[in-house]
Amino acid sequence: MSGDFDIIIQGGHLIDPKNDLNGPADIAIKDGLVAAVADRIERSSAKVIDVSGLYVTPGLIDIHVHVYGGYRGWLFPDQHALPYGVTTVVDTGGAGWKDFADFKHSIIDPAQTRVLAFVNIVGAGMIGPPEQDVSEMDPARCAAAIDQYREHIVGAKSAHFGGPGWESAGGALEAARQSYSIAMIDFAPQPTRSYEELLELMSPGDIHTHLYAAHIPLLDADKKVADYVRRARQRGIIFDTGHGGGSFWFRIAVPAMAQNFPPDTISTDLHKDSRMLPNATMPITMSKFLSLGMPLQEVVYRSTHRPAEVIRCPQLGHLSIGAEADLAAFALHEGDFAFVDSGRARMRGQQKLECELTLRAGQVVWDLNGRSLVDWDKAGEYRRLV
């Protein structure tokens, strides 16, 4: 196959779960879009990037990050997404319905990364004390913000509420219903409101994040996945990883995975703390699931196509002809590795993913080993870009 293309990604092993592709394939890009996918695409006049030995995937979608607000130190998305193969992030409640315009102006607009959001049911956003102020929790105003910024907001968020009532989680669920969207709930059970009650309140498509957190009673006294949790999944409730600094524990994930209860979506809950010792980047979090026995194609599915479905953005998470050319290429290293959970416990593993190349809308934005470049002694006249 040949044609008039801008870039050809050649020689890689393509994993594109939406299109049921798992094997050698080349990808051609034109005007920022996927123009062709075939076993072999001839060079023509296009720039060819040889990714032999790498796995090529749609750009990763991390549906739980913190790129705005005050919670434990947000991270600007580009430096903490693009080098890890992530082309779309969803901020989870950093901005409330009062300050979403500032979030759009200061973070969303200048970022190369595609930035979407769950807007906080708390008007002031994720900045500490206001998260306990029930007067800040206004479902109607939260729903209005979702309607106003529909291009950027995928739903409502509840988090960190320690009070006895349902003002936070219930408010976010109500805002989602009023705006015909979804809610993501970060929930801490209290004597007056249980996890089982929360799942009963949620509607199909709503997301419970921090699936394997120590404070979530996913497992019963016999270390079995609770029946009511399985019923919630059967009803359409989504269970998200949300690794974070404190919400991914091997002692919960291992038995849950052994009982065939994986996350619907793999996400990082990335912020300054979780980026450190747990090292909750997307490739490392995905590698943890490889160590837990999840096949690579499933890991990619739950990091690309499935999160796109969950946040109702079907145009993302795949490399169909005509789709925006967001893609990543990963080395899958074999060796003796170890991974750290939120309890600072270690798990051994034999495989680790590392992102070598990221394209966002057809542009190379990360190139670990210069695969898109020429050797210095063959480059002719050149100058350093500053």
Per-residue pLDDT of 179-223, as tens digits, reads 999 999 999 999 999 999 999 999 999 999 999 999 999 999 999
The string of DSSP codes covering 139-183 is: HHHHHHHHHHTTTTEEEEEE----SSSSHHHHHHHHHHHHTT-EE
Which superfamily, per CATH, for 60-310?
Metal-dependent hydrolases (3.20.20.140)
Listed by start position, the domains of the chain span 7-57+322-367, 60-310
Which parts of the chain sit beneath pLDDT 50? Answer: 386
Structure token pair of residue 99: 């300050």
Residue 48 is inside which H or E element, if any?
strand 47-50
Max distance between CA atoms of the chain, in angstroms, equals: 71
Which pLDDT score is estimated for 273?
A: 86
Which pLDDT score is estimated for 386?
A: 43
Which pLDDT score is estimated for 104?
A: 97
Which residues contact residue 46 at a Cβ distance below 8 angstroms, ignoring those fewer than 6 apart? 4, 5, 6, 7, 8, 28
Which pLDDT score is estimated for 384?
A: 58
Grouping H, G, I as helix, E, B as strand and the rest as coil, residue 32 is: coil
237 close to 206: Cβ distance less than 8 angstroms: yes
Structure token pair of residue 97: 């319905």
Grouping H, G, I as helix, E, B as strand and the rest as coil, residue 250 is: helix
Alpha helices for the chain (secondary structure H): 77-81, 100-103, 139-148, 167-178, 195-201, 227-234, 250-258, 282-291, 296-301, 305-310
Which superfamily, per CATH, for 7-57+322-367?
Urease, subunit C, domain 1 (2.30.40.10)
Domains 7-57+322-367 and 60-310 share a fold: no
